[in-house]
Amino acid sequence: MDEEMREAMVTTFVEAMHNAGAENYEEGLAKVVKLIEIVHGWVVKIQTVEGLRATVAEMQPMSREEESIAPFLFRNLLAVVGLLVRSGANALAADLPAFPAGRPHTLSVEEIQELLDYISGLHRRGTNLTVAKVRASQRYSCSVRTVERLWAERHTVPAQEFKAEDVLKLFAK
């Protein structure tokens, strides 16, 4: 990662802490650590449905800020864990999901690249482009319209699922 991108991420993260109501970065991070500890304790206890019920029944009162963040953490638990792991060890987080950004994608970036390569390969071997798109839609379980849109936008396929700024903006809200 180049210096400019690294500094942009740091600046965005510090601003997110400030926007969340923290006086400074350290105070904001202390709140994040507290929330992570709470979530970790819950995860250990809720390994079964009965454990989940008991944990919810025993919950201590949370601050208004914690109450507003808790539903987000529950809905996006794996994504939050993935973000935390990625920040320290990208290799360990390769299989964890990213934050959902807008309408859910049916195909990952890698699958989109494979789909486009598949169409190109069929077309190079003499298959009609329209037929190649239909075959790709069947192979990748998506609509022909989706394949046509991906083919039309093939030069602008994103290199990653989301931008760091998008994720950090979620924490700033």
Residues 75 and 134 in one domain: no
Q: Which pLDDT score is estimated for 122? A: 93
- Asked whether residue 165 falls in the same domain as residue 87, the answer is yes
Do 77 and 57 have their domain in common? yes
Residues 89 and 25 in one domain: yes
pLDDT of residue 69: 74
pLDDT of residue 116: 92
**Same-domain check for residues 97 and 26:** yes
Nearest of 158, 42, 38, 166 to residue 108 by alpha carbon:
158
123 and 90 belong to one structural domain: no
Residue pointed to by tokens 């740091």: 10
pLDDT of residue 20: 67
* 11 shares a domain with 54: yes
Intervals of the chain under pLDDT 70: 19-20, 42, 56, 77, 80-105, 157-173
Tokens 């093939």, located at residue: 154
Q: Which of left, alpha, beta for 136 (phi over 0: left; psi -120 to 50: alpha)?
A: alpha
Interaxial angle between packed helices 77-88 and 64-75, expressed in degrees from 0 to 180 and rounded to the nearest 10: 90
Q: Residue 6 class from Cβ within 10 Å (0-12 exposed, 13-18 middle, 19+ buried)?
A: exposed
pTM attached to this predicted model: 0.34
Q: What is the span of the domain harbouring residue 59?
A: 3-101+161-172
Q: What is the pLDDT, as a whole number, of residue 131?
A: 93
Question: Do 95 and 167 belong together in one domain?
Answer: yes
Residue 167: Cβ within 10 Å count: 21
Residue type at position 25: Y
Shared domain for 48 and 65, answered yes or no, is yes
| Predicted local distance difference test score (pLDDT) of residue 93 | 41
- Distance CA(80)–CA(58), nearest Å, equals 24
Q: How many domains does the chain have?
A: 2
pLDDT for 101: 58
- Angstrom distances, CA of residue 89 to CA of 81, 83, 85, 86, 96: 12, 10, 6, 5, 12
In the prediction, which pLDDT does 8 show? 79
Task: Tell me, yes or no, whether 94 and 20 share the same domain.
Answer: yes
- pLDDT tens digits for 107-149? 888 888 899 999 999 999 999 999 999 999 999 888 899 999 9
Same domain, 95 and 77: yes
What span, in angstroms and rounded, lies between the C-alpha atoms of 51 and 4? 46
* Same structural domain, 146 and 165: no
